[in-house]
Amino acid sequence: MHLLPCVYHELFGICCPFCGFQRASVALMQGDISTSVALYPALMPLMFTALTMTALKLSGRRVFGGITKGMLIADLAIMLVACLLKNLGVLPE
């Protein structure tokens, strides 16, 4: 399987906040949830946020309310903490 390389990682030698997203998505599609979470912990929360926002949009409700803003902030926090842990060598790159 051929995945796109992370240009940021190749240029600077450190992981970006999105490193592991492709491999985690593939692992999740293959049913390997633990590997998916280890590679990119924010994937499933991001998917849940996207589904919630889609459901709100389809129901005619306000999409960027307090709940979804909080979910997006939590997603961003997970992404940044995971990026830091990857660069420290705690999580796999």
- Token pair belonging to 87: 């660069």
Q: What's residue 51's pLDDT? A: 96
| Tens-digit pLDDT profile for residues 10-21 | 899 999 999 999
Task: Kindly tell me the sign of the dihedral angle through the C-alpha atoms of 21, 24, 28, 30.
Answer: positive
Kindly state the percentage of the chain with pLDDT values over 70. 99
For the entire predicted model, the pTM comes to 0.86
Q: Does residue 1 carry a pLDDT above 80?
A: no
Q: How many residues can be counted in the chain?
A: 93
What phi-psi label fits residue 20: left (phi over 0), alpha (psi between -120 and 50 degrees) or beta? left
pLDDT in tens, 32-49: 999 999 999 999 999 999
Please tell me what DSSP assigns to residue 40. Answer: -
pLDDT at 3: 86
Look at residues 34, 19, 23, 9 and name the one whose alpha carbon lies nearest to residue 79.
19
